[in-house]
Amino acid sequence: MRRGALVVLWAVAAMLVVLLVALPISLQTHLVAGLVVVACMIVLKFFRAQGVWRVIALSLGTAIVLRYVFWRTTSTIPPVTELASFIPAFLLYIAEMYSVMMLFLSLFVVASPMSSRKSPKIDPENLPTVDVFVPSYNEDASLLATTLAAAKAMSYPAEKFTVWLLDDGGTDEKCNSDNAKAAASARARRAELQALCAALDVKYLTRARNLHAKAGNLNNGLEHSTGDLVAVFDADHAPARSFLEETVGFFSTDKNLFLVQTPHFFINPDPLERNLGTFQTMPSENEMFYGIIQRGLDKWDAAFFCGSAAVLRREALQETNGFSGLSITEDCETALELHSRGWSSVYVDKPLIAGLQPETFASFIGQRSRWAQGMMQILRFRFPPLKRGLKFTQRLAYMSSTLFWLFPFSRFCFLLSPLCYLFFSLEIFTASGGEFLAYTFTYMMVNFMMQNYLYGRYRWPWISDLYEYIQTIYLLPAILSVIANPKKPTFKVTSKGESMLESRVSELGMPYFIIFGILLLGVVATGVRVWMEPYKADLTLVTGAWNVLNLIIAGCALGVVSERASRRMSHRVHIDRTCRFLFGDETIEASVRDISVGGARLHVAPSHEPSLKKGALGTLEFMPHADLPTQHMPVEIRKVGMDDKGLLLGCRFMIATPEHHKLVADLVFANADQWSAFQKRRHQDIGVLRGTLWFFMVSLYQTGRGLSYLFGLQRIGMSKPPVPSVASTAK
């Protein structure tokens, strides 16, 4: 009875909302109502309202969005008889409706995400066996050595887990290639990695041919192993010691569980973060997905496999004949298939691995193109909305995950539409400047507030727009190609560990400068049209302001494609770990301040300054987290400096044995808490107003930096714009 009353109540409320949305009111009344809603959302955000108040704030915003949709649908599209205006206007309308649909799907997924899960305790008397797969294609042996050493050091009974290197770079097909040089390289790689695996007590496995890319490689591993569970780590994803302890216990509590997925944490910035200098202060792009979206998907039992940092049940994989390989995103496809068969998944919101992101803009675009094309293949071949076996909520969740990658179409329309009016007088809106301003301004304000409610601590204002813009230019043709020929895309490994020896404009950067120039001409056209057609000044100025916003984003993108020099091959992690530095007959008490796979920076007492010189050899002694046969790492002093607390030594590791790789893995990757602490420092809500001002300042600076790179003036010193205080604010 009570449940029926609640259903009736919600139905009546929904009808009232529909009536309010469609109620004809004056332009001034709508503007006032919109501003009142924005003010209410700001007040609720200021008081950090949660629970029902958070839902109320999002519902208020939804009402304004729906009023905007009603107005756009009924009052703003030119008549179909005016074809030259109707086509761009209708494309813009479709792009906006797509954005609204994605907003509502996001609301469904993340309005109330799953709280962080606490890992169940594992039963030491009833532990499942685990096969740890590290698939590899063309990665260096030194990178693989660190990952394999970290995997071997995981805290789990040694007899209960086996680490496998799945080498697709040394297959029989490659070793017997008609290209003599390529064949010799493959044979040398196979021999080198076999020796490395033997030294690290890791099993080496390759196969006859490179069929079905990564999915085929993983399936070959399944055929040669027998563990109850399968853990997968990319070649550059080194796990913490606690990885299996934090994940395996879930499988004992839920016999229907096929997946435990953990976040991908990266110790290096992506090209946007590196070139804009935001890595230490601003949340990374992937943190919005792993910090909020995956938790939201987890609530609806739709958290999916992300290709690495995960544990899967062999029994479930056997039901689908292993990992799916129909698309080039085998991870999401595999999860979709298993979810449709009734299996469930779990997401653990704690970074337990540390990996590498693409260093160059070209590699970044290559990675995102593969993701976008793979998701389009899943839409084409699996089509989640009609996939048999999925729950309704899972259908919506997978729709959100796959349809997101259509954003290049909407982003392209938003970029082009104001230029259609400014350059060609095409009527993209049948509305006055006042109507455009009242409806669109309140819609944008509400949209920003809703995004801030959902992702405030994980995504700063305008950053999503920037990420989408820099990807649109190359993802749009990539998506069109897979729509035309769904089977055409092939799996391409993303380059990692690259170095930038000199500052330069990316080889993919020129289109961004051309688009910036066109948008700049749009500003000129705005002024000309206001002067020549003053009776249309209101509409021209509103459209011109839209073009200026595009120009600001495009200007910031110039800094993204202007690659800063970075000669460092390995990336440093800040730690504080007690150690001793053995130098000749001396034993010096020290502490490790930061670390990388290539070396460390030590802090020692200043009294030892005369004897510690560049080029001197010594030994770093520390107590490992794991039970290792040695505690001594040979090092070479590469740099000597001072700070206010004493002497600083920059040391390079002299890696000569497999035990040294184990020590490096223990120093850099063993402790998962350091990744959480680093992320927490960046998870601050900067607020809409302050974030907007910050973005505009960054854009101004990056526009100048990008143009200086284009014209060869990058050596001229330019100070960085200030980073704002990130104290939480509701503005």
Which tokens is 189 given? 């790689």
Map residue 445 onto helix, strand or coil.
Answer: helix
Give the Å distances, CA to CA, from 219 to 148, 203, 232, 317, 489: 19, 16, 12, 9, 20
CA gap 342, 255 in Å, rounded: 12
| Terminal-to-terminal C-alpha distance of the chain | 44
Which tokens is 10 given? 């919600």
SS3 letters across 310-341: EEEEHHHHHHCCCCCCCCCCHHHHHHHHHHHC
To which residue do tokens 């995997």 refer?
A: 151
Q: What average pLDDT does the segment 561-580 reach? A: 81
531-568 pLDDT per residue, tens: 999 988 888 999 999 999 999 999 999 999 999 987 65
Query: How long a stretch of residues is the chain?
Result: 731
The confidence band for 7, taking pLDDT boundaries of 50, 70 and 90, is: low
To which residue do tokens 């392209």 refer?
A: 412
The confidence band for 646, taking pLDDT boundaries of 50, 70 and 90, is: confident
CB 552 within 8 A of CB 694: no
Question: Could you tell me which residues come within 8 angstroms of residue 1 by beta carbon, excluding any fewer than 6 positions away?
Answer: none
Burial (0-12, 13-18, 19+ Cβ within 10 Å), 341: middle
Query: Across-strand partners of 449?
Result: none
Which tokens is 402 given? 């796959």
278-304 pLDDT per residue, tens: 998 999 999 999 999 999 999 999 999
Which tokens is 627 given? 């039970």
The angle that helices 2-22 and 52-75 make with each other, rounded to 10 degrees, is 40
Q: What average pLDDT does the segment 349-365 reach? A: 93
Q: What average pLDDT does the segment 383-396 reach? A: 94
Q: CA torsion angle for 541, 546, 552, 554 (degrees, to 10)?
A: -130
Looking at residue 606, its pLDDT comes to: 66
Percent of the chain with pLDDT over 90: 60
Q: Is 366 left (phi over 0), alpha (psi -120 to 50) or beta?
A: alpha
Looking at residue 725, its pLDDT comes to: 46
DSSP annotation of 160 reads: G
Q: What average pLDDT does the segment 407-415 reach? A: 96
CA gap 626, 155 in Å, rounded: 8
Q: What average pLDDT does the segment 370-390 reach? A: 93
Q: Which segment, 78-82, 234-238, 594-598, is predicted with the most confidence on average?
A: 234-238
114-137 pLDDT per residue, tens: 888 889 988 888 899 999 999 999
**Does residue 389 have a pLDDT over 90?**
yes
CA gap 569, 499 in Å, rounded: 6
655-678 pLDDT per residue, tens: 988 889 999 999 999 899 989 988
Looking at residue 613, its pLDDT comes to: 81
Q: Which of 152, 249, 137 is nearest to 669 (CA)?
A: 152
CA gap 150, 237 in Å, rounded: 9
- Please provide the average confidence, as pLDDT, over all residues in the chain: 88
CA gap 383, 403 in Å, rounded: 10
**Does residue 50 have a pLDDT over 80?**
no
Instruction: Tell how far CA 248 is from the center of its chain.
Output: 25
Q: Which of 589, 569, 571 is nearest to 579 (CA)?
A: 589
CA gap 263, 349 in Å, rounded: 7
**Does residue 717 have a pLDDT over 60?**
no
Q: Amino acid identity of 223?
A: E
CA gap 374, 475 in Å, rounded: 12
Reported in sequence order, the residue ranges of 330-405 that DSSP labels E, i.e. its strands, are 344-347, 353-354
Give the Å distances, CA to CA, from 450 to 307, 331, 454: 31, 30, 6
217-273 pLDDT per residue, tens: 999 999 999 999 999 999 999 999 999 999 999 999 999 999 999 999 999 999 999
**Does residue 94 have a pLDDT over 50?**
yes
Q: Which of 648, 615, 618, 651 is nearest to 632 (CA)?
A: 618
**Does residue 2 have a pLDDT over 60?**
no
Looking at residue 256, its pLDDT comes to: 96
Residues 560-592, buried b or exposed e (16+ Cβ, 10 A)?
bbbbbebeeebbbbebebebbbbbeeeebebbb
CA gap 660, 664 in Å, rounded: 6
Reported in sequence order, the residue ranges of 348-488 that DSSP labels E, i.e. its strands, are 353-354
Map residue 587 onto helix, strand or coil.
Answer: strand
298 is catalytic: no
CA gap 239, 154 in Å, rounded: 7
331 is catalytic: yes
Looking at residue 42, its pLDDT comes to: 80
CA gap 714, 86 in Å, rounded: 45
Q: Amino acid identity of 558?
A: L
Looking at residue 719, its pLDDT comes to: 43
CB 295 within 8 A of CB 110: yes
Looking at residue 499, its pLDDT comes to: 59
Q: Which of 131, 167, 168, 236 is catalytic?
A: 168
Looking at residue 1, its pLDDT comes to: 53
Looking at residue 726, its pLDDT comes to: 45
Map residue 601 onto helix, strand or coil.
Answer: strand
- Other CB atoms within a 10 A radius of the CB of residue 657 amount to 11
DSSP run (H or E) holding 76: none
- Other CB atoms within a 10 A radius of the CB of residue 199 amount to 15
Burial (0-12, 13-18, 19+ Cβ within 10 Å), 14: exposed
Looking at residue 626, its pLDDT comes to: 84
Q: What average pLDDT does the segment 337-355 reach? A: 96
Pairing of strands 203-205, 344-347: unpaired
Q: What average pLDDT does the segment 569-597 reach? A: 84
Looking at residue 718, its pLDDT comes to: 44
Looking at residue 567, its pLDDT comes to: 61
- Tell me the pTM: 0.91
CB 699 within 8 A of CB 469: no
Q: Which of 270, 298, 331, 685 is catalytic?
A: 331
CB 87 within 8 A of CB 382: no
Give the gyration radius of the chain's Cα atoms. Answer: 28
Looking at residue 716, its pLDDT comes to: 43
Q: What average pLDDT does the segment 165-189 reach? A: 94
Q: What average pLDDT does the segment 472-479 reach? A: 96
The confidence band for 470, taking pLDDT boundaries of 50, 70 and 90, is: very high
Give the Å distances, CA to CA, from 136 to 63, 216, 494: 50, 12, 11
Looking at residue 570, its pLDDT comes to: 64
**Does residue 727 have a pLDDT over 60?**
no
The confidence band for 487, taking pLDDT boundaries of 50, 70 and 90, is: confident
DSSP annotation of 385 reads: G
427-458 pLDDT per residue, tens: 888 888 778 878 888 899 888 888 888 888 89
